[in-house]
Amino acid sequence: MPTITHIEDLRVLAEKRVPRMFYDYADSGSWTESTYRANETDFQRIKLRQRVAVNMEGRSIRTQMIGQDVAMPVAIAPTGLTGMQHADGEILAARAAKAFGVPFTLSTMSICSIEDVAEATGRHPFWFQLYVMKDRDFIERLIDRAKAANCSALMLTLDLQILGQRHKDLKNGLSAPPKPTIRNLINLATKPRWCLGMLGTKRRTFGNIVGHAKGVGDLSSLSSWTAEQFDPALSWADVEWIKQRWGGKLILKGILDQEDARLAADSGADALIVSNHGGRQLDGAPSSIEALPAIADAVGSRIEVWLDGGIRSGQDVLKSVALGAKGTLIGRAFLYGLGAMGEEGVTKCLQIIAKELDLTMAFCGRTDIRTVDRSILWPGTYPGER
């Protein structure tokens, strides 16, 4: 086992161990992937102010996200097909998050079901991400299942009414489980650890949908159902309906525009997430970190503003907080850990980010994450300077 020191080490190991179609699903964007790449590179342009002769004792990166105590301002983002990065992936990631003290978010398009994760974590509260489908009866039952599973917040994704064109997924013939083509079978033969894990689990399809949505009893019927179910007519009226039906903490994901941020704040939601869906929807949209400051300035006093997209280190978390985010979410970073080493890899990912966050905060002269602001950033290097 190689020595793991940063997230890139986990990515390299995951690429070796995860079948190509599922690795590419996690590590790709839409069209030219310009927004996907910008999510990372725009963080690197932001420079930090080093301070010296400051008492660095008693540091704390603990804070709150929507009133929930968290070990650091990081939550695990909802990612589809997580259970195809590693057998029972959602369960393993949820366990790692619980032990570390950060929130875990389960995707509608997960392999393990809501009930699977609730049972495996002892009904420890987790968050559930909702896609709005045309079948409103199914959505109502999905919300009720999340309530029954003790989910403490609902995360509504707003930026996937239609699907962005993701070239790698199309070329790979992405499916769960993999289609038995010659190309896929050859690739699977090089991933024995992954194959053994999958042989040992019964969870190989979309657990929240198969057997729950009308007319979807197996994979063949699932494909046609998903192709027609994402609702392009989603509106702010639907957000209000979902808010009333859910009745608990509501998080809105996929905000990049200040006007949409104001509408999100007007909706009464508890938090919004500045996100471009990891660069997997509108290619050519700004990076999340570029869009963050203006949104935080516009509505940060009315609603919690979080950021998702491009975070690969604790320094990225610190820069996000400095620019107005009360919390962040990691998707690819934890998927790399999961694909590389299962639950241990997710824990390792969280440990790396926490350590980098703590040390960088200290070098910038701060000892409490709640006091971090733009003054820790080097002038002229960050978006949104006044």
Instruction: Tell me if 309 is assigned to a ligand binding site.
Output: yes
Instruction: Tell me if 89 is assigned to a ligand binding site.
Output: no
Q: List residues with catalytic annotation.
A: 277
Instruction: Tell me if 122 is assigned to a ligand binding site.
Output: no
Instruction: Tell me if 141 is assigned to a ligand binding site.
Output: no
**Distance (Å, rounded) from C-alpha 21 to C-alpha 10?**
18
Instruction: Tell me if 371 is assigned to a ligand binding site.
Output: no
Distances (CA, A) of 197 to 191, 286, 336: 10, 38, 16
| Strand 271-274 relative to strand 304-308, pairing | parallel
Instruction: Tell me if 332 is assigned to a ligand binding site.
Output: yes
Q: How far is CA 15 from the centre of its chain?
A: 19
Instruction: Tell me if 327 is assigned to a ligand binding site.
Output: no
Contact 364, 18 (CB under 8 A): no
Closest residue by Cα to residue 378 from 51, 129, 157: 51
Instruction: Tell me if 78 is assigned to a ligand binding site.
Output: yes
Instruction: Tell me if 197 is assigned to a ligand binding site.
Output: no
Instruction: Tell me if 157 is assigned to a ligand binding site.
Output: yes
Closest residue by Cα to residue 242 from 129, 149, 150: 129
Instruction: Tell me if 164 is assigned to a ligand binding site.
Output: no
What's the Rg (C-alpha) of the chain? 20
**Distance (Å, rounded) from C-alpha 153 to C-alpha 117?**
15
Write the burial class of residue 68 (CB in 10 Å: 0-12 exposed, 13-18 middle, 19+ buried): middle
Feature table: binding site for FMN? 78-80, 107, 129, 157, 253, 275, 308-312, 331-332
Feature table: binding site? 25, 78-80, 107, 129, 131, 157, 166, 253, 275, 277, 280, 308-312, 331-332
Feature table: binding site for glyoxylate? 25, 131, 166, 277, 280
